[in-house]
Structure 1
Amino acid sequence: MNLFTEDQFEKLLQNGAIAAKERAGEISEDMSRQPVVKLFTPWGAATWLISEIDPEDRNLAFGLCDLGMGCPELGSVYIPELMAVRGPFGLRIERDLYWTSSKPLVDYAREARLHGAIQA
């Protein structure tokens, strides 16, 4: 299974372009983006809510990352590393096919810090 559908990948790139404009000061208002995709390890507690991909480095994503150790954090993740992870019996990181975002990433992050895990 691919980590992202084509539509999700395009949305992630669009969000990445908006974030780049924010960092460059071209957009002054906060454009809090919702995560586009939820990834998880079917054999463990790791979860990622990905909101954007850097349009200049399409291997670099940004989102809320929770490795299942009680300290979720916002940050960058290298997509080839996610694709290289193998669990028991060769299991891979999967995309939650039925998940849809209901709020901005910052709200998921706030809740995750309170609970010590992503609540999505």
Structure 2
Amino acid sequence: MELLTKQIIRKFEEHPIYSQDGKGLKAEVLVKYFNPMGAGTWLITEAEKQEDGDWRLFGFCHICEWEWGYLMLSDLQRIVLPGGLGIERDLYTQGRIVEDFIG
């Protein structure tokens, strides 16, 4: 699955790092990435394109527990799961906030 589309790039450009600072769980989720085979959810709320073309992402992430943090898009793209699967993108995040995903 393609993790970066033209629509997502547009959202990233409209929400640079720190643009949703202070919103906490009310921050808009730009894209949700997830591990289809187990632990790993990344609710991306802000992004910044790097000089090398990679994207530095910020959001509310869950591996063992929920926490705010940074990651690189290339790190997600490099993950290879059993059966040749990779990290996937939720197609239904438009108009949702962080709080909507953590129940």
Q: Residue deviations 1:36-90, cap 9 Å, x none?
A: 11111111121111111114554211111111x2x21111111111000011111
The equivalent residue for 1:115 is: none
Q: Is 1:85 aligned with 2:79?
A: yes
Residue 7 of structure 1 is matched in structure 2 by: 7
The two structures, once aligned, show a CA RMSD in angstroms of 2.6
Normalised to the residue count of structure 1, the TM-score between the two structures is 0.68
Compute the TM-score of the two structures, normalised by the length of structure 2: 0.77
Q: In structure 2, what is the equivalent of residue 27 of structure 1?
A: none
Residue 94 of structure 1 pairs with residue 77 of structure 2:
no
Matching of residues 1-120 of structure 1 within 5 Å: 1-16=1-16, 19=18, 33-56=27-50, 58-67=54-63, 69=64, 71-103=65-97, 105=98, 108=99, 119=102
Q: Distance in 2 between matches of 1:88 and 1:10?
A: 32
Report the structure, 1 or 2, having the larger strand content. Answer: 2
Identity percentage over the alignment? 30
Give the aligned length.
Answer: 99
Q: Following superposition, which runs of at least 4 residues in structure 1 exceed 6 angstroms of deviation?
A: none
Distance in 2 (alpha carbons) for counterparts of 1:11 and 1:99 = 12
Partners of 1:102 and 1:89 in 2: CA distance: 31
| Unaligned 5+ runs, structure 1 | 24-29, 112-117
Higher helix share: 1
Determine which structure has more spread, i.e. the larger CA radius of gyration. Answer: 1
